[in-house]
Homo-oligomer: A and B are copies of this chain.
């Protein structure tokens, strides 16, 4: 009588569920160190290879973190850890799904910006302002892209919802945005982006949530609309 669960799915799958359950039930706390791979494998009666695959799976999910020579640890289980893989969705999506992704981003980003308008601190506002200025001061696409990302990241953080910020981070992953911009920038997009960022910044400064929502929605919607036409006939 080893276990009540004889076999369902692969042994690796079982191991994954097992560890996930340990965390969900609180038997493993965030930051805590797990037993060694060898121990865990022996404990579940599986080989170390299979256990390693399970650990790898949980690692990419952002649940575990393996430190070479030290041990395996549970991550802080914060939104950022768990939603890191979200970026691959954006990186591997194409065609109509890109538009869907932007639609989701538009919904979240506009709400986040509205929340930010109500909650943003002076320091955060200054940081936003800095990125606006930096973006206006250069013509290097690389640098513009970087400040564009930072601009939105700062606002998402000011909204006060880490989970939403992490999702938006994934939806704005570097390679994703770079891909979209490649063709978009040819139509005076830089100037337009600067104008729209300025509008968002004004709304934030005025602490006007509705204006901020509208400005952000328009900003993302602009790209979304352009992308939609690119897919048409």
Residues of A within 8 A of B (CB): 12, 16, 20, 23-24, 49, 52-53, 56-57, 59-61, 63, 77-79, 82-83, 85-86, 88-89, 91-93, 97, 100-101, 103-104, 107-108, 111, 161-164, 167, 175
- Known interface pairs A82-B92, A108-B107; A163-B97 also in contact (CB < 8 Å): yes
Q: Which residues of B contact A52 (CB under 8 A)?
A: 49, 53
**Chain A interface main SS type:** helix
Q: Which residues of B contact A78 (CB under 8 A)?
A: 97
Contact of A89 (CB < 8 Å), options: B83, B101, B104: B83
Q: Which residues of B contact A108 (CB under 8 A)?
A: 104, 107-108
In angstroms, Cα B57 to Cα A63, docked, is: 13
B89 touches A79 (CB 8 A): yes
Tell me, rounded to whole Å, the shortest Cβ–Cβ distance linking A212 to chain B: 15
Tell me, rounded to whole Å, the shortest Cβ–Cβ distance linking A20 to chain B: 7
A164 touches B77 (CB 8 A): no
Contact of A61 (CB < 8 Å), options: B12, B49, B85: B85
> 17 more A-B contacts (CB under 8 A) besides A20-B88, A24-B175, A60-B61?
A20-B91, A23-B92, A49-B52, A53-B53, A60-B60, A63-B88, A77-B92, A82-B92, A86-B86, A89-B163, A100-B162, A103-B164, A104-B164, A107-B107, A107-B111, A108-B108, A167-B167
B91 touches A24 (CB 8 A): yes
Q: Which residues of B contact A23 (CB under 8 A)?
A: 92
Tell me, rounded to whole Å, the shortest Cβ–Cβ distance linking A132 to chain B: 26
A100 touches B56 (CB 8 A): no
Contact of A100 (CB < 8 Å), options: B77, B79, B88: B79
In angstroms, Cα B175 to Cα A88, docked, is: 25
> Which A-B residue pairs are the 6 nearest by beta carbons?
A100-B163, A82-B89, A53-B56, A57-B60, A100-B161, A107-B111
Tell me, rounded to whole Å, the shortest Cβ–Cβ distance linking A72 to chain B: 14
